[in-house]
Structure 1
Amino acid sequence: MKVQGLELEIMGLLFLFVISMFVRTGEAESKTFLINCGSNASVNVDGRRWLGDSAPQTNFTVSSGIVASDSSFNGDLAYASLYRTARLFTQSLNYTFKGATGNYFLRLHFYPISFPAYNANESLFSVVANGLKLVSEFNVAGEISAKRSHSESSGSNSSAVLIKEYFLTVNAADFVIEFFPAKGSSGFVNAIEIVPVVDTLFVDLVNKVGGNGAKSSLDLSKRGIETMYRLNVGGSDIKASQDELQRMWGVDSGYMLTANAGAEIKNRSSVTYASDNQTLAAPLLVYETARSMSNTQVLEKMFNMSWKFEVDPGFDYLIRLHFCELEFGKANQRIFRIYINNQTSADHFDVFVRAGGKNKAYYQDYFDVVSPKISTLWIQLGPDPGTGASVTDALLNGLEIFKLSKNGNLASTETFGLKEGNKASRSRILWAGIGAGIASIAILAVLVMLIFSFSKRWRSERADAKNSSPGWRLFFLCGAITNGTDKEKGYLGIQNPVGFTATTRVGRWFTLAEIKAATNCFDDNLVIGIGGFGKVYKGKMEDGTRVAIKRANPQSEQGLAEFEAEIEMLSRLRHRHLVSLIGFCEEQNEMILVYEYMENGTLRSHLFGGKLQPLSWKQRLEICIGAARGLHYLHTGSERGIIHRDVKTTNILLDENFVAKISDFGLSKAGPALEHTHVSTAVKGSFGYLDPEYFRRQQLTEKSDVYSFGVVLFEVVCARSVINPSLPRDEINLAEWAMICQRQGSLGNIIDPQLQGQYSPESLKKFAGIAEKCLADEGKSRPTMGEVLWHLEYVLQLHEAWLHANAGENSSCSNHMLQVNGTPDEGKAEEVQQAARAVENTGSSLKMNDGE
């Protein structure tokens, strides 16, 4: 009897559950509104029935408007019947939906159709939903144009349709959507879609960007949400019919800084949700594809996958990132960092751990406040090298960006302050624009006349100068001036900010005939190097001086900025460890620089890839010290300092005595002013040497040169290229591979075999420690070039002490005398080592100040 009673109780509970499900389903269906605007007929699209708003209805009403139709729609045929009709309006238009309390996705569909006397492309209107302003003075054609640019670059098949999506909480009995045309304009809408959503789709407590794990309360029940972007990362478009909530997911490649920075990967087994409350976050299709950095050879794995989005400034944003580990079946295999708008949002991010296993769908939300001065939002994922993960990699499956309302407004701040119908204001703006245009044309005409007059006079003076003085000449740069004495002496005058002219002998203005004579008419047999600027020739001037002549590619118009930057930098730089500029030529559209000739070529040519005699450990140390001195001078030799931006072994040249000199200043930038910490600039440099922090934030500092120099140090000790795709995956990137070996204490296994037995183990240990510090992920953790220089000199001191100690052991002298710096002294090696240890303990050790 007890068993029978239990069975009846279970059956009763099941019955109640089934009944509640039917009730829920009925409620959901009763609250779904699909409106085919401008039509009296219902249409079926993707299995859903859209009601014509002109037909009699019981659960919604429409106030006014003009019914319009057009058969020219050429997009998705399934939606043709929906977008061939629209409701136009020249005065306010209201849609009122009855009994719509709850949470909803509101989607407004726009397709500019042709209709007599109305130009949909010039429509301008505002939309308000239950008091929340959605758009203000909104132009559909402009938004579609911006959308198309991304669609075309990403290969998406999107048509000229715009869908604005919002998430709203409706507390009133009725849901009212109001359309207001601007004064003298009109508006239109093709379809309205209202879909009920469970209240767990968004939560109030979200991780704050840059908040070190702190959470912010978003108070979403009182705010509206607009979907700005929804992307299926690494996959194709996902149609509304493939998503339970009828969301559409676009392709991400059009928003990537470098589209090939992440390789597309797919799942190898079925994907499931990590928990029941995440089932509606995204369809499983999103989690079955991803982008991963592991197999790409376009960018080094030390750098990030980056997406850039245009957003409305001054709003709060919710960023949702979707993850699913598709490759690794255990923890600590793929650990990475997440950056949002150049702030660390998460580190030590292990998808396997957070989701609870492989092929588990999981998402993470972040909250960010975008400044009123910023109109872009960056999302970047990159490796977290300090975690000891098996691969330096990152992964992302999908992303969504939502804008949160501010003071009852979701409209762009650029248009929110405009008063509708303010015809007088618009008139004043129009006439002000016309006046400014006329004034601009007049000023431009005067400038053209002045430039023409100046150019004619300059050409005449230059011709006279050629006929009278074939030797030293003047090269005009920004603000350059000379007096008669300067011109006779062949000096370049640079006018400084306080008004006087500082003269510096920067070199000779060569004629093209002289350059051709020196290079045998640019004979390819004299080419000693080829770079982005052009070819470098070995030349011999008429007086017997050997020179290196860098000629820009005459077929390209690129390089003028680098040409001028090189002259400008070298005109005010003089140092034993910087290559000297002898002169230049700009005749007949040529751009040619003439340098002192460096007998022993590039440092790289002596490390690998050639048949030159290998460098000893002492020579390598002295070369590194020389290069460090040159860079230290750049960073500290002027008020703001100079950042080289392209430090690498091919830009470190060696003279006949193997003295190192830094070359190629075409990418150099003046350092930040005293009140700034960095220079904001586009990323330039050479892969393999680029500072990942600079790449990630586009913020250049002197520590960017320090990072590149750290790569050079490992290149010097390992004698291999910094990027070698033919090696196993973990060894492709030298900096990454060397850092792994350094931390495992196995660097000795990958050093240049030519060095075996020729170096002091203690000096190698200290040398590798310096390189490791230079490659710290954050610039503030890296040493300055001055500190690097100090420690390299200490390393040389250790090595010389070791050499002398070995020489003493092999000496036949009975008293084991040792020659140090030309002075014989017993036990000198031990004294040198003791002195070096004493210096090391003074506080300038490799434990660098994190605040630097």
Structure 2
Amino acid sequence: MRVQDMGVFGLLVLVMIFLFVRTGDAQINTFLVNCGSNSSVNVNGRKWIGDSSPGNNITLSSPGIEASTAVFNGDPVYEPLYKTARIFTETLNYTFQGAPGDYFLRLHFYPFAFQSYNANQSYFSVAANGLKLVSEFNIPREIIEKNNYWQGSWGNSTFSSLVKEYIFTVESNGILIDFIPNKGSFGFVNAIEVIPVADKLFVDAVKKVGGNGANSSISLSKRGIETMYRLNVGGSTIKPDQDSEFWRLWELDSGYMINPDAGSEINNKSNIIYASPNETSIAPLLVYETARTMSNTEVMEKRFNMSWKLEVDPDFDYLVRLHFCELIYNISSQRNFRIYINNKTAADNFDIFTRAGGMNKAYHEDYFDVISPQTSTLWIQLGPGTSTSVTDALLSGLEVFKLSRDGNLAPVQRYGNLEEKKSKRSLILWVAIGAGIAFIAILAAVVALVFWFCRKPSIKQIDGKKTSPGWRPLFHLNSAANAKGSPRYQNHSGFTASRSGRRFTLAEIKAATKNFDESLVIGAGGFGKVYKGEIEDCTLVAIKRANPQSQQGLTEFETEIDMLSKLRHRHLVAMIGFCDEQNEMILVYEFISNGTLRSHLFGSDLPSLTWKQRLEVCIGAARGLHYLHTGSERGIIHRDVKTTNILLDENFVAKMADFGLSKTGPSLEHTHVSTAVKGSFGYLDPEYFRRQQLTEKSDVYSFGVVLFEVVCSRAVINPSLPKDQINLAEWAMKWQRQKSLETIIDPRLRGKCSPESLIRYGEIAEKCLADEGKSRPTMGEVLWHLEYVLQIQGAWLQTNAEEISITASHPLVPPQDNEPEGQDTTNLDHQESDSDTKSKEDESAPKPTNEPDHIAGGAVEFSQMVNLQGR
């Protein structure tokens, strides 16, 4: 080696030694921190070090408070990590030693009760190396908002924890994370991830939406980034341990789509590679193995778009990252489409094959857009371009990142100023105290007036005789007792004067139920137990007794009495009377001998119903609901339609029951009733849940779930099944959209129902579950189409009588083979007790003709909610 070369080599060695010494401890390390603990835990194969463990290369500015819990109801994978937390009542700093560069920062929060610290009263801010991440942050409220959004969209998850993810650049040899509680409040954190990013995930030059394809510099290296959404389009959830480089979570996209039917899911797991070496860190190959395309042209207009709607924070800049991989075509110009972001063109004539350089090549594009202070929604749409007639597009993945402004990523005053809130609460408290004092004074005056009025002597003529002075009753009983000698309500404070129904004494109820003998219990629900009883004339009745611990109470009790006293219909359960003595709330109904519809579908030893019987039951229930919706000026919304609230009498005539949650419909000048969300888990209308706006179409949605339950004979929610089958309605809709509902029907129906009737039945159920109420049919339209389905089944039975073995007749039902097929047997031998009501029903109910038109409304995949107040 020449002397000159040796000198250069020596100089390089010295430089390397200098750099090594200079960097010292500033190594590029990953930090996984188990907060509030001095021990390590393993989660997903990764070791999380306690933040108070010795030698962990983490510095805490103050010890704070180490909190722990023995109760955990979140994701079991994270249980060892989320059962501890560090609470801080003053500013707390975490300092990590690390080299300059880009980092992922994830903050994990799982609120739990600890001593006197109530997470609902926790407000704090977080900053990382001076970058403000959140301000006046309240974890429970964030979780509630997330649950409301997800349940309002697709409802498969209930979150109990929260993870916030950020990406930022570190320019010094350290990372400082500040947790700052609001004055008089506190904060907490369960776990922290700090993961270095060796490869460049973002570039400064990005296409601006509406900028004619030109790149704009947005200086990402100097801006903090928050991950808002990361979606695996057309595929299943990709868990962090499946994204081994950065441990990112890729969620399902279907819940964010306006119409999932606008695109079909495709997959191809063979030979997918990255389009360039720079793509390898962008996303795992799992993202590119699945996609959505617009090839499902049977359910869309020729110029329809695939659309995703995402809630974002207003007045920020956003980076939208779209992931593509051509899985079908091996030549260019076979799939050209347009990309819209917030109704502005981001790209025209987009050809994945050409841009990625071939088939099965993973590729991404970034777009930049500005959200105004008045906007909180980000729309992503893919549709056919202007230069092609091909109605097709493809997308594999979608990410949305919020960009900081002036060192700030925190949305503006999400919950308002805490001190201002306290001041308002104090003002409200004093106003309430004053109002309470005034109310007590007024109440005392009213009581004195009533006392004087009742004691006032009066002379009355009764049967020609004068009465003596005495107490005047606060409610009056009809002097003419009913047939059995018991009085009826004439008037009562809190009850309407028009209410009818026998008022039973508690002694009569105890006699009828043998002092509430447990052997007479025939059912139980949210209100309480239901007993089989016998009143004095040997009439069998169902007696529903309120449970003091029930979430339902006086309001539901009065509502049910009020509703049923006004309603008389062959397909509604009749109320005989009630009892409200000694703090008891008891309702007495006609006894329905064959129990609930659900008990005849699954979960009992009862014989199966035939397809014809099931259709007749659905028609009967639909008639009852149609009467509720149209039988009065404003109509009545049931609000709790489900198979346990559809009862079957001795002739298997369906009767709607349980009106405790019912509401009078909107007046003519309104389109809905604004009310708190109530209903039953698995049946709740997602639009009602999102907007708290109740309409008759909410009953239609619930009835659509019932229709699928009837044909599939399984519970609407079954957590023991695989994930994609837990929710019956989602599972059934998946098969219905594929025109393959017969694949999942009750095996006892196979070969015994007309294929055409099943097709029409599935179409009705699908329309009922449209995400928007305006797209759903009315109950009258549902009834009309169900009657037509029954006609189809009847004709099929007659045509195939010699080829099939009809085992459908229920042992308890008289033989039906000789009945005129297509006729609704629920009308036979059951005369309406109220002839006026029957006439009204006959006039309002639609009649089937030879061939129905299509039901109004598009086929939209529904979103099933988790009902937080379910009965």
What TM-score does the superposition give when structure 2 sets the normalisation length?
Answer: 0.50
Query: What is the CA-CA distance between 1:774 and the residue it aligns to?
Result: 3.2
Structure 1 residues 319 and 660 mapped into 2: Cα distance closer, same or farther (>3 Å)? farther
CA distance in 2, matches of 1:707, 1:157: 31
- Aligned partner of 2:262 in structure 1 is none
1:177-198 CA-partner distances (Å, limit 9, x unpaired): xx9x9xx99xxxxxxx999977
Secondary structure of the corresponding residue to residue 583 of structure 1: strand
SS in 2 for 1:525: helix
1:263 aligns to what? none
In the TM superposition, what whole-angstrom CA distance separates every residue of 1:700-734 from its partner, at most 9, and x where no partner exists?
A: 54334324323433444555555667888887765
Kindly state the Cα deviation for residue 548 of structure 1 after the two structures are TM-superposed. Answer: 0.9
SS in 2 for 1:547: strand
Please give the per-residue CA displacement for 1:392-444, whole angstroms capped at 9, x wherever unaligned: xxx999976526649x98664439999xxxxxxx9x99999876654442223
**Offset at 1:79?**
5.4
Q: Pick from 435, 450, 455 the counterpart of residue 443 of structure 1.
A: 435
In the alignment, the residues of structure 1 paired with residue 516 and residue 705 of structure 2 have an alpha-carbon distance, to the nearest angstrom, of 34
Amino acid at match of 2:853: S
Q: What SS class does the counterpart of residue 414 from structure 1 fall into?
A: coil
Counterpart in 2 of 1:227? 226
1:708 and 2:702 matched:
yes
Q: Is the 8 A contact 2:568 2:574 kept in 1?
A: yes
Aligned to 1:605: 599
> What does 1:636-785 align with in structure 2 at a 5 Å threshold?
636-671=630-665, 674-676=669-671, 681-682=676-677, 684-687=679-682, 689-691=683-685, 701-717=695-711, 719=713, 721-722=715-716, 735=729, 736-737=731-732, 740=735, 744=739, 747=742, 750=745, 753=748, 763=757, 766-776=760-770, 779-785=773-779
How far does residue 625 in structure 1 lie from its aligned partner after superposition? Answer: 1.8
Residue 315 of structure 1 corresponds to which residue in structure 2? 315
Cα distance between partner residues in 2 of 1:635 and 1:238: 50
Give runs of aligned pairs for residues 152-167 of structure 1, distance below 5 A.
none
Q: Determine the C-alpha separation between the residues in 1 that align with 2:565 and 2:125.
A: 58
Asked if structure 2 preserves the Cα contact closer than 8 Å seen for 1:653 and 1:663, the reply is: yes
RMSD: 7.3
1:539 aligns with one of 527, 533, 537: 533
Q: CA deviation at 1:538?
A: 0.8
What SS does the corresponding residue of 1:647 show, helix, strand or coil? coil
- C-alpha contact 1:551 1:592 (8 A) present in aligned 2: yes
Q: Which amino acid letter does the alignment assign opposite residue 227 of structure 1?
A: E
Matched, 1:845 2:850: no
Task: Tell me by how many angstroms 1:528 deviates.
Answer: 1.3
User: Does the 8 A contact of 1:691 with 1:707 survive in 2?
Assistant: yes
Aligned match of 2:261: none
Give the one of 605, 625, 629 matched to 1:635: 629
Q: Is structure 2 residue 396 aligned with structure 1 residue 402? A: no
Q: Distance in 2 between matches of 1:785 and 1:487?
A: 42
1:594 lines up with 2:588 in the alignment: yes
Between Structure 1 and Structure 2, which shows a larger proportion of helix residues? Answer: 1
Question: Given that residues 637 and 663 in structure 2 are in contact (C-alpha distance below 8 angstroms), is that contact kept between their aligned partners in structure 1?
Answer: yes
Q: How high is the sequence identity, in percent, across the aligned residues?
A: 42
Instruction: Look up the equivalent residue of 1:517 and give its one-letter code.
Output: A
8 Å contact from structure 1 (residues 216, 367) kept in 2: no
* CA distance in 2 between partners of 1:787 and 1:122 (Å): 51
After superposition, what is the alpha-carbon deviation per residue over 1:775-812, rounded to whole angstroms, capped at 9, x for unaligned?
A: 45654443221111112233444556677889999xxx
Whether the 8 Å CA contact 1:653–1:661 is kept in 2: the answer is yes
Q: Alpha-carbon deviation of 1:448?
A: 4.9
Contact 1:807 1:818 in 2 (8 A): no
Return the structure number with greater relative CO, CA threshold 8 A, min gap 6: 2
Q: What is the CA–CA distance in structure 2 between the aligned matches of 1:400 and 1:613, rounded to whole Å?
A: 53
* Residue type at the aligned position of 1:839: T
CA displacement at 1:652 relative to structure 2? 1.0
Q: How far apart in 2 are the matches of 1:362 and 1:487?
A: 83
Looking at structure 2, the residues matched to 417 and 725 of structure 1 have their Cα atoms a distance apart, in angstroms, of: 39
**2:734 & 2:124 partners in 1: Cα distance?**
58
Distance verdict in 2 for CA 1:366–1:785, change over 3 Å: farther
Instruction: Show the counterpart of 2:509.
Output: 515
Extract unaligned runs of 5+ from structure 2: 1-11, 31-49, 64-99, 108-120, 147-157, 172-177, 185-194, 232-236, 257-268, 291-308, 330-340, 347-351, 381-394, 455-472, 481-486, 804-817, 824-845, 861-871
Letter in 1 for 2:433: I
> Does the CA-based 8 Å contact 1:318-1:403 persist in structure 2?
yes
> What is the aligned partner in structure 1 of residue 573 from structure 2?
579
Q: Secondary structure at the match of 1:632?
A: helix
How far off its partner does 1:535 sit? Answer: 1.9
1:220-277, Cα deviation, whole Å (9 max, x unpaired): 56996663769998757999x986xxxx979999xx99xxxxxxxxxx9999866555
| CA distance, structure 1, for counterparts of residue 159 and residue 608 of structure 2 | 48
Q: Distance in 2 between matches of 1:745 and 1:273?
A: 36
Contact 1:624 1:713 in 2 (8 A): yes
Is the Cα–Cα contact under 8 Å of residues 206 and 367 in structure 2 kept in the other structure? no
**8 Å Cα contact 1:106/1:167 also seen in 2:** no
Matching residue's letter, 1:549: I
Separation in 2, partners of 1:607, 1:416: 48
Supply the distance in 2 between the matched residues of 1:715 and 1:122 (Cα, whole angstroms).
Answer: 43
SS of the residue corresponding to residue 621 of structure 1 reads: helix
**How far did 1:539 drift?**
1.1
Instruction: Name the CA distance, whole Å, in 1 between partners of 2:744 and 2:416.
Output: 66
Residues of 2 paired with 1:354 and 1:728: CA distance? 38
- Whether the 8 Å CA contact 1:319–1:401 is kept in 2: the answer is yes
Deviation track 1:585-625 (CA, whole Å, cap 9, x = no partner) reads: 34444443222211222223334554546545554433222
Q: What are the Cα deviations for residues 727-779 of structure 1, in whole angstroms up to 9, with x where unaligned? A: 8888776553587379556739945647866x666655544543444345654
- 1:490 paired residue number: 488
Deviation at 1:627, TM superposition (A): 0.8
CA displacement 1:432-477 (0-9 Å, x = unmatched): 9876654442223333565688799999999xxxxxxxxxxxxxxx
For 1:553 and 1:797, the matched residues in 2 are separated by 44
**CA 1:352–1:651 in 2, change beyond 3 Å: closer, same or farther?**
farther
Cα–Cα, structure 1 residues 783 and 774, in superposed 2: closer, same or farther, change >3 Å? same
Amino acid aligned to 1:658? F
